[in-house]
Structure 1
Amino acid sequence: MLHMSGGLVDADKVSQCLQLLQSSSPSYLLLSSLDAARAQLSENPRSFDEPVAMALETKEQLRIIPGVSVLDLSSFFSDFPAMDPLRITLSASDLHLSGYEADDILAEEHQIVSELVGTQAVTFAVNLGTRWKDVQNLVQSAKHLSEKYFSAKEYRFGKHNYVRSPLDKFTVKLTPREAFFTKKRRVRIEDSLGEICGELICPYPPGIPVLIPGEVVTQNSLSYLINVRDQGMTISGAADGELNSIMYGDDNQ
């Protein structure tokens, strides 16, 4: 939903962009829900005061738990203007837990369902239906994680060592078109170093491709993919969703 107000944005330019991007068959259920939300806020402009206060108080309680860190504006190197106050993003890396491990424990042992999980963090959403006892359950569950894992002497990362997404250095042997049409073979992912990737491999989050068709598999990209695969990250684009193998192309054809 775009709100046009004042002269900061050229309305005709926005309309032209929409003609290129918008669907010719929008979801009217989604549109009606947006309008209903707008109407609710119009009738009660302060309806989100309690959820926002609830989220802020919860973040303060979580910050003092040993081994648990909370994402805030100070976490960014750039001048980030603002963050959604209704999102609570936790990192349990000081507890030697990946985001996936922490998420599994919270879901299975404490029945807390996250909104989004990544290799290093878990995000929770506070909304109009959230109750104080719900956020207190999150705080108590985080305390249990701290008590169980923060003082553990054994270094539990094992194969969960975090690596940055290898997007800085890459080599392309084929264009995406050439790689798409070339004959492909399947190879075990552990044996794919130096091969030409024949498919788009995109871990989520963050939803940015690590390998595209025609790109050479490097040690950095291979290590990263095996790392996130073993942590249970969702992989899209690959024919083998579990990423035990990848499709590669032959540049000699």
Structure 2
Amino acid sequence: MAGFSDKSILVLGGSRGIGAAIVRRFAADGGTVTFTYAGSKDAAEALAAETGAKALRVDSADRDALVAAVAAQGPLDVLVANAGTAIIGDPLTFEPDAVDRMIDINVRAPYHAAVEAARRMRDGGRIIVIGSVNGDRVPFAGAAAYALTKSAVQGMVRGLARDFGDRGITVNSIQPGPVDTDMNPADGPFADQMRGFMAIKRYAHADEVAELTAFIAGPHGAMITGSMQTIDGGFGA
């Protein structure tokens, strides 16, 4: 168990699902945690009361607001960019603005947040982007635009790892497969299809992703950088 009692941590998109599990994991190990949320005010307030973390309402698609929120945290030890959205379906029916918003949240937001955090981040800091196994594999129709964003994260992580490596700042992506959350429940309409692609025939739990995040953010992650840490039950095998 890595100790985070002296660490300043910012989680972008922390009110629900994987993000909330990450907030709980860092807070339980003593971290000073701030997290952002967009629309889930009640969930964010409940999580803040439960964990002692600080909740900030920030839309990750609003670049200026996001950069200002990151800058306001001062020197961070850990940045986790978890905020994300998915549009799955026939690309011929998508509204272009909706696709562009997904790109803003899934690609532009983690890039600008990472760069802003690195301006003040202490040497040896950690930048972690929650990506997706769909950056590697798209075994079903309708996920082209979403997969585009997650593949872009891979290139970003590799490049920023080199940009910040001389300061000992690591930059990595964690790539979950199907995870049991309210956005993608293990008993949802597509769950059987998703399990059919997996070697381990169950959805991951959000706290399993949080544990991997804590490992990468801890002292044992000091030489892990520019990597895609996949946790998908063999979805991409």
Please give the range of the TM-score, normalised by the shorter of the 2 chains.
Answer: under 0.3
> Whose RCO is larger (CA < 8 A, sep 6+)?
2
Which is helix-richer, 1 or 2?
2
Structure label with greater radius of gyration:
1
